[in-house]
Amino acid sequence: MSSLQTNSGTVLGRIVEARRAEVAHRQRVVPETVLRIAAKKADPPRDFVGALCRDQINVIAELKKASPSAGLLREVFDPKSLAVGFEAAGAAALSVLTEEGFFQGALAHLRDARGAVSLPVLRKDFIVDPWQVWEARAAGADSFLLIVAVLSRSALGELIALGRELKMEPLVEVHTAEELDVAIAAGARIIGVNNRDLHTLSVRVETSFELIDEIPNGCVAVSESGLRSAEDLARLRAAGFDAFLIGEHLMREADPGAGLRRLLNG
């Protein structure tokens, strides 16, 4: 068990501690059997992997109202209109923050965004329990985030396997070479390199360049955080990344869809 699973002294540690408590409460209110029934009735998953493998600059455009590092990003936050704008601008997929306490997210944001577009949608949250994967599928999510730093090896493997059972290939996020080794050993097929250090919230895009050569060719490689220019995307794509997750930069734009269009058009 990593120190982050027990240490609430870091930002990530505090978020995960709060998430575990929230999930434990919600499990008592909504049993997993209820979520399994709802998941079977949900729309079939859309092809998240396929969306990231197109021969072009594939951006996962992220919808988030706030973050611990930046505070409130958008006073007016309308997931439907944001999703429509991103789809029209050429996003490959969407990511929607659903964590309530630190990001002001909600599962309703994911449902609203997905219902407005035909793109696959990733649930961006701090997944620590299979219950949350069933909850994600019941809400219509097509993929979900797994953060290596907050999961034991056995839990990571179990959650990846459950995602595949539900036809939701997860995005497995790493920040260091050691975490990348864990992700590869667990059989991750989509590996995200987070340029933000979740201990300190500092950002170094160089992290992606340092790790890309260690990501197996058979995996989909995603660079996350701190991406602000068409030049960033071009350099990372040339280095071998298949897709790019961009949130804060777009959320700060008066018109996020127009901001994405500018990035994609260089």
On whether the CB atoms of residues 242 and 221 are closer than 8 A, the answer is: yes
CA 237, CA 57: separation in Å to the nearest integer? 7
Whether 173 is a known active-site residue: answer yes
pLDDT at 207: 96
Tell me the percentage of the chain whose pLDDT exceeds 70.
97
On whether the CB atoms of residues 133 and 152 are closer than 8 A, the answer is: no
**Alpha-carbon dihedral angle through residues 36, 41, 42, 46, given to the nearest 10 degrees:** 100
pLDDT at 134: 98
Mean pLDDT, residues 168-193 taken together: 98
Catalytic residue among 135, 173, 179, 248: 173
Catalytic residue among 87, 169, 224, 248: 224
Residue 9: pLDDT band with limits 50, 70, 90: low
Whether 64 is a known active-site residue: answer yes
Whether 40 is a known active-site residue: answer no
Catalytic residue among 58, 62, 67, 195: 62
* pLDDT 10s digits, 10-45: 888 999 999 999 999 999 999 999 999 999 999 999
* pLDDT 10s digits, 101-118: 999 999 999 999 999 999
Whether 167 is a known active-site residue: answer no
* pLDDT 10s digits, 199-241: 777 899 999 999 999 999 999 999 999 999 999 999 999 999 9
pLDDT at 12: 87
Whether 224 is a known active-site residue: answer yes
Residue 266: Cβ within 10 Å count: 10
Mean pLDDT, residues 255-266 taken together: 94
Contacts of 197 (CB under 8 A, 6+ apart): 175, 203, 204
On whether the CB atoms of residues 172 and 156 are closer than 8 A, the answer is: yes
pLDDT at 96: 98
Catalytic residue among 58, 95, 143, 225: 225
CATH 2.30.30.100 for domain 3-265, yes or no, is no
Mean pLDDT, residues 97-101 taken together: 96
Catalytic residue among 58, 194, 195, 208: 194
Whether 124 is a known active-site residue: answer yes
pLDDT at 87: 98
DSSP strand pairing (121-124 vs 93-97) = parallel
CA triplet 15, 16, 17: central angle to 5 degrees?
95
* pLDDT 10s digits, 103-162: 999 999 999 999 999 999 999 999 999 999 999 999 999 999 999 999 999 999 999 999
Q: Is the pLDDT of residue 8 over 70?
A: no
Catalytic residue among 65, 124, 143, 195: 124
Whether 41 is a known active-site residue: answer no
